[in-house]
Chain A
């Protein structure tokens, strides 16, 4: 039996009819047509399904959609668009941090959540590494991803580009 559910996704309200066991990822991809959030392990291990729930990164693959009523959901589609890239998106492009791209939506939202959690300080490379430990990339080897996140963090901390070695 489907139940009515209203979700706020990227600032827009969606009135839906959902099965009780549907996850947020299933609703985003299958019902709304937002395919930026990817689907892989479905066990919260890989992070490709990461979205922001009230600003915090969570794994949408194990999050029941009905638990998200009344909360704000942001997907990669809500972060920027080709004309107005989010600083993290621009930095990933500039630093060549993207190969196949499958992990990148989750990676950028994971990074955004972490940087928003620590607005006033410049995280070390090790801290950035730990911050993205729940989001796996099988292509890049992470160095350029960390470069891109560090560049945005440095800009925010007002210190200019960070130059320390990988």
Chain B
């Protein structure tokens, strides 16, 4: 193991270093993914570029239409952020099941996204929220839909020299709620076997005005279940509607069998968790906790 660690003091310097080192360089935020991958010799970068001194990437800010979550915001910061406790509760529920407290206190949202694991938990509610990834690089700034940023396991649309600056999410309309459910082999300190995030908006007649479902660990990247969403819009979220959504989601996903679970079991979990997550959203909207 031999690498140099660089500590740029500005985003511009971080980008310049990344461009200079190319494939031999990696950004490091909390290091909870990267250091383990280096120790296991899965990655052998010659240069690490420390992002922790870049205050511009820290913190969670309100924007005119929602929130900008800095790439360096920790899972703990998301979990504890007061404005996320109501309609955006699903985001909090995902952040609070990433590893244990020690991991959450240092691991970042930007790292969770950039690492591009198909089982990354916080990615899933962000995808359900139509999050947009803001990138800055040698050629300036650009914004991409999270779904377009994630290309495959460990693969993203990040270009040479680019870093994630923040993640944008829009404020939800009235009568909206979110929920996140994770199935692992044990309750805590566990990688998702399957995870599901739901976002629902009801109209005044109690019909689904908008519905969004995102699934984790059942494909090459976290994915939206578009057919399942369509099965809900315009309908009252009764048992039949939820069953249709569950079946469409299970049909849409593309799980693999691995040491954690079989593909069949993963599909069954999707079918069970989708209606459960939607029911939680309905309850939250009815209780007005949104």
Does any Cβ of B come within 8 Å of A28's Cβ?
no
Instruction: Confirm or deny: B188 has a beta carbon within 8 angstroms of a beta carbon on chain A.
Output: yes
In the assembled complex, the CB of A69 is this many whole angstroms from the nearest CB of chain B, namely 8
The count of residues in chain B whose C-beta lies closer than 8 Å to any C-beta of chain A is 28
- Picked from A63, A66, A134, the residue with its CB within 8 Å of the CB of B99 is A134
- Which residues from B are CB-within-8-Å of A75? none
Please tell me which one of the listed residues A57, A62, A113, A117 contacts residue B31 in the complex, with CB atoms under 8 A apart: A62
Min C-beta distance of A27 to chain B, whole Å: 14
Instruction: Known contacts A62-B35, A63-B31; decide if A44 and B102 are in contact (CB<8 Å).
Output: yes
Contact of B105 among A3, A45, A58 (CB under 8 A): A58
User: Is the pair B76, A44 in contact by a Cβ cutoff of 8 Å?
Assistant: no
The B33-71 residues at the A interface (CB cut-off 8 A) are 35-36, 38-39, 48, 50, 52
- The CB with the most chain B CB atoms within 10 A, among A3, A53, A64, is that of A64
Q: List A residues 48-74 near B (Cβ within 8 Å).
A: 50, 53, 56-59, 62-64, 66-67, 69
Minimum distance in angstroms from A138 CB to a CB of chain B: 15
Docked Cα-Cα span, A148 to B189, in Å, equals 23
Answer whether residue B265 sits at the interface, using C-beta atoms and an 8 A cutoff. no
Residues of B within 8 A of A102 (CB): none
Q: How far is the CB of B115 from chain A (nearest CB, A)?
A: 14
Q: Which residues of A contact B3 (CB under 8 A)?
A: 20-21
A34 at the interface (CB under 8 A from B): no
Interface check B5, CB cutoff 8 A: yes
**Which residues 1-54 of B have a CB within 8 angstroms of A?**
1-5, 7, 28, 31-32, 35-36, 38-39, 48, 50, 52
- A and B contact pairs by CB, cutoff 8 A, 27 listed: A20-B48, A21-B2, A21-B3, A43-B39, A44-B99, A44-B103, A53-B105, A56-B105, A58-B102, A59-B32, A62-B32, A62-B39, A63-B35, A64-B5, A64-B31, A66-B5, A67-B5, A67-B50, A69-B7, A110-B101, A110-B102, A113-B101, A117-B80, A133-B100, A134-B99, A134-B188, A135-B100
